[in-house]
Amino acid sequence: MAINFAKGKFDKIIDPYGGEKDLKENIIKTVGIPDERFGEDALRLMRAVRLATELNFQIDLNTRRSIEKNAGLLETIAKERIRDEFIKILMADGAAEGIILLEELNLLKNIVPELRDGLGCGQNKHHIYTVFEHNVRALAYTAKQNYSLLVRLASLLHDVGKPATKRGDGPDSTFHGHEVVGGRIAAQIVDRLRFPKDFGEKVIHLVRHHLFYYNVGEVTAAGVRRFLARVSPENIDDLIKVREADRIGSGVPKAVPYKLRHLLFMIDKVKSDPISPKMLRVNGADVMQIAKLDPGPKVGYILSILLEEVLDDPEKNTREHLESRVKELSKLSEKELKAMSEKAKETKLEYESEEEDKIKSKHHVK
């Protein structure tokens, strides 16, 4: 389409391909023969989906058939260009519909094929949707809430590890460790699509830690401090948003139930407590001076042990107490300190410990 100006004034619209009619009818259509246009630039395959998603338009039947036939051409396109179109689809109000359309037109397998493993993958008695439907519905919630790209992508990928970890079938099937496997899969996806490293790491982190357990009266303040130490306070807001999406994507009516609000209360309550070695009243230099140690592993082991003790009881985070503990710990061998440090690191979050599997089952939490 073009506008003809005669003597500086509007004359008429030049529209040899009927574009004005298509606009009025909300139709996406190529100019001329679809196969030729997609052959010129295969990114147009995705662009058609993106425009349909952003504008809430329908793709012309002949154009659809050509996209389906030529979907494989997308493999020839630079991943950065694919990523940029994918981001625009994710940031559209109809992001979920965009993902479904990508699948319908055989394009998703050339963008995020891992999502397709969830097609037809049933879950258990706690879910009414397949893994694919659940992930897409989670994305739909984040779009409705106008959440960030980070939260949208993490929500779309949060259960991408379920198909690979599914054991059994029917209402009692399980997906143990799917968040860990999902984090690894998410790492492959963000790397393949050339997302910036820092952004990709945040996506991986949210996917890896989206599955946390919290029940009022069962998880202690120490457990909340360990949770913060694991996920970092700056990630809490986004992690909660992914959890909201997970819940709504499962078909439950309430995104933020009482126990999630209570967790936020507990986080606010302990947010000033020490949760990292940097927040201890002694540092590495202090440890070396007090214990008369040279730089080495023993210093790190001692700090790790001190942090674990302070996570249990923040009142122990005084210089007097910690100096005393450094003197006691420095008398132990490196082997003994290493064993104590590793035991401290292996202390499970109360959200994720194996000992709580029975409690999770009791409360229907996976």
Which range is most confident: 70-74, 219-223, 331-335?
70-74
Averaged pLDDT, 58-66: 96
Residue 359 pLDDT exceeds 60: no
Per-residue model confidence (pLDDT) at position 6: 54
Q: In this structure, are residues 188 and 203 in contact, taking their beta carbons and an 8 Å threshold?
A: no
Question: What is the residue-averaged pLDDT of the chain?
Answer: 87
Query: DSSP assignment of 194-246, as one string?
Result: T--HHHHHHHHHHHHHS-----TTTS-HHHHHHHHHHH-GGGHHHHHHHHHHH
Residue 358, SS3 per DSSP: helix
Q: Binning pLDDT at 50, 70 and 90, where does residue 238 land?
A: very high
Residue 201: CB atoms within 10 A of its CB come to 13
Per-residue model confidence (pLDDT) at position 363: 38
Query: DSSP assignment of 53-76, as one string?
Result: HHHT-EE-HHHHHHHHHHGGGGGG
Domains of the chain: 21-111 (1.10.3090.10), 122-273 (1.10.3210), 277-345 (no CATH)
Q: Is 105 exposed, middle or buried (0-12, 13-18, 19+ CB in 10 A)?
A: buried
Residue 352 pLDDT exceeds 60: no
Task: Report pLDDT digits (tens) over 255-305.
Answer: 778 888 888 888 888 878 888 888 899 999 999 999 999 999 999 999 999
pTM of the full structure: 0.80
Residue 158's nearest CA partner among 71, 99, 245 is 245
Task: Report pLDDT digits (tens) over 211-232.
Answer: 876 777 777 888 888 888 888 8
Measured between alpha carbons, how far is residue 257 from residues 197, 252, 359 in Å?
A: 34, 10, 18
Higher pLDDT, 23 or 191: 191
Phi, psi of 73 (to 5 degrees): -65, -20
